[in-house]
Structure 1
């Protein structure tokens, strides 16, 4: 069984200091201790750096890349830095992830049962009210969510970076997340890249609360106007993810983007032409987008 001292928890943050404080407190409250916490501060401007200087937290390492790399870039940066620190496994999460006290212990126990035969392990993500967080439901196929959490482990092919555990050896084999994604679908792409070759599992006993500020599924027809512009990444990145699945993947992309277009046309927030343009310009950009998978040296 891996010792917690050989694990590095990677937290990526950007201008969400109140949530980050809760995340770090939850990490300090884990029933197993001794693991390193590597905080990637994406050049926050909200006082995060000053707060970290005052924090007496054993095992905390803070890295600032000097610019906002987005979630995708932050995780790629953090996993590379964790590997350089010599850890044997990484535990990945956003700054709004609040692990319950036994979250890491449950992942370590599952890792001990599977060892190198497993690609990754994922926690059950809950909303603050205790219901399952819809954005973080893992997929049992590329197109269907898992059915539930009533067994000790649930096979899955995709998961989010809201509490993902994998061995550094898997990182060396399958590479790093694609930093060019910036935000959205980087976790789906990364976990699917691994699950194509190795079995992967959700561990329901490992639970986290995802205290996200904008809950719900990713859909420009339902989101607030302030977030519309960033959807160009979502519709672009999804093409990279699904085209690897062949004809079924392309059909899924066309069906999803067409359905989102219909939903925009029905929506009362206005700016319909602008949002539809974002969807299909993102799709076209994805067809041309050929990012390379980065690997550890």
Structure 2
């Protein structure tokens, strides 16, 4: 397994302090990486200076002329790793730090189960915060949120997990894939910009016959608290609605599930005077229109 060549793909935007800690974590791995490909999404802080001072990693930097979002960044980074012939590609955000033995634990998984592997995330206090879905329900039209079970809520602590937990979707925060996964399903979809690009990729992988496992002993420490309470009337709200709708329209397993975006949009518009106002209503209408185009 040590003969395999592994490239990490890190996407960053204006988080130089977090990126510094993250790269230090990669340098401290007990199994060195063969490449660290950083996609600097047109940062305007001192990210470039941070990257210029890295001398203890096999660093490659890709700088697009504009911010392509996490989706575009992972598309570029995975493409670069694939074209350079790496055997495994490890997708990472800039706000996580791997334990020194994290990569070794991933590479120790038996080959027949190791096409798609996910780390297990903890917070700075050591609490389990792995929100990857054990169940992602695109069959039940009554499930407003398709993620109905996740590692964190199912097990409570990392110690209570079995060595491997099968998943139905993942975040791009420590997702390790074999080269043949890219050969089978292609690159992450850059059109998502942010949110749900990782969900889309996991669904594509599973539909191509690949199984996905969280590895209990491969620990990644998240540097920030989870905060999913975005302004649904702002630009992030648009992407959250559009990409959620796109996933339902692309992969809904029956007509009722594929109809959920219209029902959700109608509900948001009707309730907008009581919650997000006109801006959220405009977002959800635009999101539904664009998701219909994106789903094709």
Q: State the TM-score, normalized to the length of structure 2.
A: 0.84
Query: What residue in structure 2 maps to residue 37 of structure 1?
Result: 36
The residue matched to 2:149 in structure 1 has which SS? coil
Query: What residue in structure 2 maps to residue 245 of structure 1?
Result: 252
Structure 1 157/255 Cα, relative in aligned 2: closer, same or farther at 3 Å? farther
Which of residues 241, 263, 282 in structure 2 aligns to 1:277?
A: 282
Q: Pairwise mapping of residues 99-110 of structure 1 onto structure 2 (< 5 A)?
A: 99-110=98-109
* 1:45 positional shift: 1.2
Query: What residue in structure 2 maps to residue 295 of structure 1?
Result: none
After alignment, is 229-238 or 122-131 more displaced? Answer: 122-131
Count of residues in correspondence between the two structures: 277
Distance 1:138 1:10 in 2: 22
Structure 1 263/84 Cα, relative in aligned 2: closer, same or farther at 3 Å? same
Residue 149 (structure 2) pairs with residue 145 (structure 1): yes
Query: What residue in structure 2 maps to residue 27 of structure 1?
Result: 26
Distance 1:260 1:48 in 2: 39
Structure 1 175/30 Cα, relative in aligned 2: closer, same or farther at 3 Å? same
Contact 1:8 1:89 in 2 (8 A): yes
Higher strand share: 2
Contact 2:234 2:279 in 1 (8 A): no
* 1:266 positional shift: 5.5
Structure 1 251/14 Cα, relative in aligned 2: closer, same or farther at 3 Å? same
The residue matched to 1:91 in structure 2 has which SS? strand
* 1:231 positional shift: 2.0
* 1:87 positional shift: 0.7
Structure 1 254/118 Cα, relative in aligned 2: closer, same or farther at 3 Å? farther
Query: What residue in structure 2 maps to residue 200 of structure 1?
Result: 212
Residue 169 (structure 2) pairs with residue 169 (structure 1): no
Distance 1:275 1:185 in 2: 19
Query: What residue in structure 2 maps to residue 232 of structure 1?
Result: 238
Which of residues 88, 94, 116 in structure 2 aligns to 1:120?
A: 116
Structure 1 151/255 Cα, relative in aligned 2: closer, same or farther at 3 Å? farther
Structure 1 265/89 Cα, relative in aligned 2: closer, same or farther at 3 Å? farther
Distance 2:246 2:117 in 1: 23
* 1:281 positional shift: 2.2
The residue matched to 1:21 in structure 2 has which SS? helix
Distance 1:119 1:231 in 2: 33
The residue matched to 1:249 in structure 2 has which SS? helix
Contact 1:118 1:198 in 2 (8 A): no
Structure 1 residues 30-68: Cα deviation after superposition (integer angstroms, max 9, x where no partner):
121143111111111112112211221231111112221
The residue matched to 2:136 in structure 1 has which SS? coil
Moved >4 Å (runs of 4+) = 251-267
Query: What residue in structure 1 maps to residue 95 of structure 2?
Result: 96
The residue matched to 2:134 in structure 1 has which SS? coil
Structure 1 204/259 Cα, relative in aligned 2: closer, same or farther at 3 Å? farther
Distance 1:202 1:91 in 2: 14
Q: Which runs of 5+ in 1 are unaligned?
A: 292-297
Distance 1:83 1:17 in 2: 26
Query: What residue in structure 2 maps to residue 68 of structure 1?
Result: 67
Query: What residue in structure 2 maps to residue 3 of structure 1?
Result: 3
Q: Which runs of 5+ in 2 are unaligned?
A: 138-145
The residue matched to 1:216 in structure 2 has which SS? coil
Query: What residue in structure 1 maps to residue 48 of structure 2?
Result: 49
